[in-house]
Amino acid sequence: MRLARRTQLLAATALISLPLATSAFAETPAQTPTAETAAAAAPSAAGAAATKPIEELAKDYTIIKIGADEIRNSEVVEIWKGLFPGGAAPDFNNFDENIRQNVLRGMVSEKLIFQEAQKGGFDKNEEVKKRLAMLEKQVIMQAFMDQKAKELVTDDQLKAAYNEKLNAAKGQEEVNARHILVATEEEAKKIAEEAKKNADFAKLAKEKSTDKGSGTNGGELGWFTKDKMVPEFAEAAFKLQKGEISGPVKSPFGYHVIKIEDRRAVKIGSFDELKESLKGDVANKMIQNYLEGMLKAANIKYFSADGKEKPFSTSLTPPTDGAVAN
């Protein structure tokens, strides 16, 4: 999960470890409430999560005083919500008291650090001002582009993109495969021979594969289409039938032994299931078109070091032949 800089500071300073009362932390009492651990504890907090939206429960009041400064409950709730993916935060005010105080300590630490930085004149530092100006520009641009993406994407475009996916999937197959990756062809030959003698392929993958990511799961790669793998691997995999095991297959990563667990026609979800992911794809295309239009409309001149004007491409699509696009 990606955390905002402010939340990163909160997580880093928060969060002095305390024994936690919730059962989700029973095996690791010194664990601190990162987004992941807090989310894991959520089901046991105060017996149950709040049933109302968190905004309705966030009555604003002063929750912490630090000398003349204070932290409002609404500010805490916003930070708390940022620790959870998809806005699924349980009610902070009904959460475990130890975790609540850890979060509050992080926010107090943030304020104290900021105060000390101001005393040291860091807010007037020219380098800091430059970085703040850059951040301000990025935030403004991102807000503008987010809004522009919403304006540019229509339901008709989403339906057209969905139909393109459907048409592209016609006649396509996908396979469910396992593999074992090793450094040499000789090793791969021995493993392939062993696997073909009814050895447990998943066990061999756990013991011998240098691809530790899939190896710990018995070499499992899941379902994939031909375009998702490097060509050498894909060509070999899609020649195999269900239950078949390959000989050594060389790729840029080493030598693979591949087993096909199953094959099927590519399945595409319904329009409603894919609508959100399609929004991202369509928005990217529309934003690219929008930016290219801006570039073409702008009076852009490009010069070499000797002052001579040079051709300048307004295309955001890289040319395939290495030439400068127009």
Taking only the tens place, the pLDDT of each residue in 43-56 is: 333 333 334 444 44
Distance CA 73, CA 90 (A): 15
> Domains in the chain and their CATH numbers?
5-124 (no CATH), 173-265 (3.10.50.40)
Question: In the prediction, which pLDDT does 67 show?
Answer: 87
* Strand locations in 129-217 (E): 173-182
Q: What is the mean pLDDT of residues 277-306?
A: 92
Q: What is the mean pLDDT of residues 283-302?
A: 92
Question: In the prediction, which pLDDT does 326 show?
Answer: 57
Asked whether residue 218 carries a pLDDT value surpassing 50, the answer given is yes
Asked whether residue 30 carries a pLDDT value surpassing 70, the answer given is no
- The average confidence (pLDDT) of the chain is 82
DSSP-derived letter for residue 242 is T
Q: What is the mean pLDDT of residues 191-197?
A: 94
Taking only the tens place, the pLDDT of each residue in 134-168 is: 999 999 999 999 999 999 999 999 999 999 989 98
Taking only the tens place, the pLDDT of each residue in 247-274 is: 999 999 999 999 999 999 998 889 999 9
Asked whether residue 232 carries a pLDDT value surpassing 90, the answer given is yes
Question: In the prediction, which pLDDT does 57 show?
Answer: 45
> Which residues sit opposite 70 in a β-bridge?
65
Distance CA 183, CA 165 (A): 37
Question: In the prediction, which pLDDT does 209 show?
Answer: 96
Cβ-count burial 215-241 (b if 16+ within 10 Å, e if not): beebbbbeebeeeebeeebbebbbebe
Q: What is the mean pLDDT of residues 22-38?
A: 36
Helix (H, G, I), strand (E, B) or coil at 52: coil
Distance CA 145, CA 286 (A): 11
Question: In the prediction, which pLDDT does 64 show?
Answer: 92
Sign of CA dihedral 108, 111, 113, 116: negative
Closest by Cα among 224, 239, 215, 103 to 175: 224
